[in-house]
Amino acid sequence: MKHLFFHCKFAKAVWNLAPISIPLDSSHFQSFLSTLSISKTWTCLPPTGVSNGPLFPWVCWTIRKTRNYCLFEERQFSPEETISKAIKEAREWQQAQHPTKTIQRRSNLSYPSVTNPNVITCFADGAWCKDACIGGAGWIFIGNEGTELHRGQAAERFVSSPLMAEAMAIRSALNYALDHGIANLKLHSDAQDLIRVINTQEQSKEIYGLLFDIFTLASMFESISFHFIPRSKNLLADSLAKNAKEILVASMPDMGPTV
């Protein structure tokens, strides 16, 4: 992953053209996730029109699409064309966050369908405590023979809604999958509205930062798909999410048991 997005000759040329206020040397980028975090402090230079929004995920996304065009359609794009496309995508995303555009549909983002027989299935769920503004996340990974491969849970503070907790859970599951070398993923969640937003690439002001991370992380997989399932089919992930939430709530002063 580091070679594709940061260290190969083409990627270095693209990053050298990025209109960032500080000098960038992509050969020094240590990992995707750490650089994604650091990039939130970067400022894009005018007149790109994205000075108030992130550029890093869109550069990675466009490098990935450029590579796929080359491999599967034999279409070549220069570093200059690639960075221009990334800036255009970033600007469109930022403009869609304007208060007069609460939700706007995007149609130019797509994920490859899952056809790999070695695809891993993930069940993810979120839980929310309104009083403490805490969100819990739980996830389970199942192999193609039906055996459990991994499970995990996490909790975060400053989570303002159930939708945000569900989005946090999916982001956490994608991070976990990438950290464990999973390349082909089929993710299940009982958050129907969130799955619809992800699959139609809508933009929700409430969770646009989390959606941005989800879209970017999704582009790192060889194949990925997102599916809604009933809550009755997601009980184990739900239990993990609630447990993680309760542990964090219990560690806070003046907070009793929550639902």
The answer to the question of residue 242 being in a domain is yes
Q: Which of 54-68, 84-98, 184-198 has the highest mean pLDDT?
A: 184-198
| Mean pLDDT of all residues belonging to the chain | 84
Percent of the chain with pLDDT over 70: 86
Q: Is 151 exposed, middle or buried (0-12, 13-18, 19+ CB in 10 A)?
A: middle
User: What's the domain count of the chain?
Assistant: 2
The verdict on 78 and 161 lying in the same domain is no
- Residue 106 falls within a domain, yes or no? no
Whether residue 54 is contained in a domain is answered as yes
Q: What's the Cα-to-Cα distance from 151 to each of 53, 54, 244, rounded to whole Å?
A: 33, 31, 12
**Does any domain span residue 115?**
no
The Cα–Cα gap between 196 and 157 comes to 25
If DSSP codes are grouped into helix, strand and coil, which group holds residue 227? strand
Q: pLDDT tens across 136-164, in order?
A: 999 999 998 889 999 999 999 999 999 99
Q: Count Cα neighbours of 91 within 13 Å in the Cβ-side half-sphere.
A: 13
Dist. CA 223–CA 203, nearest whole Å: 22
- Residue 245 structural domain: 120-250
Tell me the pTM.
0.62
Confidence (pLDDT) at 102: 36
pLDDT digits (tens, 9 = 90+) for 10-63: 999 999 999 988 888 888 887 776 787 788 788 888 877 776 667 888 888 788
More confident residue, 54 or 183: 183
User: Is the same domain home to 92 and 126?
Assistant: no
